[in-house]
Structure 1
Amino acid sequence: MHQSHLEDFIENLLKGIGVFHPIQLNKFHIADQLGVYLHLLEVRSRGLWDGELYYIFLNPNLSRQQRWQDFGHELCHGLRHAGNQKSMPSSFRKLQEWQADNFMYHFCVPTFMLKRLELPPDQRIAAALIAETFNVEFSFALERLNRYYQNNLFLLNQNIKEGDRFG
């Protein structure tokens, strides 16, 4: 089954820094490997460029799962976005936030790792397994599972259509 460009990007990024298994998904290790400065600070989670350096600030009062999810969101801004959101048109800022949320779901529960899980047919049990395996909240795991199934259906339909064209 094919992956999206985002899924390929995340897989290459993680494998490029030696992260192959869910147990290796550690925000401090990943930040260090990517040259991102990660700090726990009692502020709303955010990322900040200072010249050539990118900082991510995570609120230590959040749960471990929320900090991991916020890390994925803020990492997207550092890796894939440019500019100061405060000076952007509202529509562009909303686009970047949507992209960062989408990245977060795929980064925190990478597709190449998710594919290796033997997911039970019951959606709630599968989501609980994902939440436990990838250190995310249950509601996050449920949304990620839905996105995973939707993407697989979309790619399957695309492959069928391409087969019709070339068959």
Structure 2
Amino acid sequence: MIIIYIYSHLEDYIVELYKRIGISRPNQLRLEVIAKRLDITVYSFGWPSEALYSNGRQYIYLNRYLTPEQKWQEFAHELCHALRHSGYQKRMYPLFRELQEWQADNFALHFCIPTFMLQRIKLPTDKKDAACLIAKTFHVEYEFAFKRLELYKNKIYAGRYAKWHV
């Protein structure tokens, strides 16, 4: 059986973004390095995380009380707002704000655990063991890794039953 994985537009975007900033391996996924290469200033402070655009510059504010894994995940979430969204969320129609939050959550899953890197890893057959390996490799929380693994596996599973011509 041939399994074909077709990248989504988001996965293509993330591949190109990482390629542009010279990142190709999980050990290069460092918040400070990525922020610097994207020319985004990151600050730690005591309130909920947020992204802000001011005077032609992007800023991401991360809650200083988060664990390193949570900060990485929050950075990716806020990065989506910085790179792909516009407008002030507190003045948006609630459903549009909800859409942007869903998009940022989905972006974070794919940004922190990029498909092109995930495909290079030999994953254990047990889902819990695989999620543990992903969490350790990509420096994310277990639940986050498990959710990303589910997205990845579901897409492969769906591809098995599609009619493909190679």
Q: When the two structures are superposed, what TM-score results if normalisation uses the length of structure 1?
A: 0.93
- More displaced stretch, 57-66 vs 67-76: 57-66
Runs of 4+ in structure 1 deviating by more than 6 angstroms, as ranges, are: none
Structure 2's unaligned 5+ residue stretches are none
Residue 43 of structure 1: CA displacement?
1.5
CA distance in 1, matches of 2:61, 2:47: 7
Secondary structure of 1:40's counterpart equals strand
Q: Output the CA distance in 2 between the equivalents of 1:118 and 1:9.
A: 24
Query: Which amino acid in the other structure matches residue 117 of structure 2?
Result: M
Matched, 1:30 2:30: no
Higher mean Cα deviation, 46-55 or 148-157?
148-157
What is the distance in 1 between the residues matched to 2:62 and 2:112?
A: 15
Find out whether 1:50 has 2:54 as its counterpart: yes
Deviation of 1:157 after TM superposition, in Å, equals: 4.2
Q: Cα RMSD between the aligned structures?
A: 1.4
Shift in CA distance, 153/33, structure 1 to aligned 2, threshold 3 Å? same
Change in Cα spacing, 1:153 to 1:53, as seen in structure 2 (3 Å) is same
Residue 134 (structure 2) pairs with residue 134 (structure 1): no
Q: Which runs of 5+ in 1 are unaligned?
A: none
SS at match of 1:93: helix
Q: Deviations over 1:16-47 (max 9, x none)?
A: 10100000001111011111111111111111
The residue that corresponds to 1:113 in the other structure is 117
User: Is 2:127 the counterpart of 1:154?
Assistant: no
Per the TM alignment, residue 97 of structure 1 is displaced from its structure 2 partner at its CA by 0.3
Residue 103 of structure 1: how far off its partner (Å): 0.2
SS of 1:57's partner is strand
Residues 154/51 of structure 1: CA separation in 2 closer, same or farther (3 Å cut): farther
1:88 aligned residue: 92
Aligned length: 162
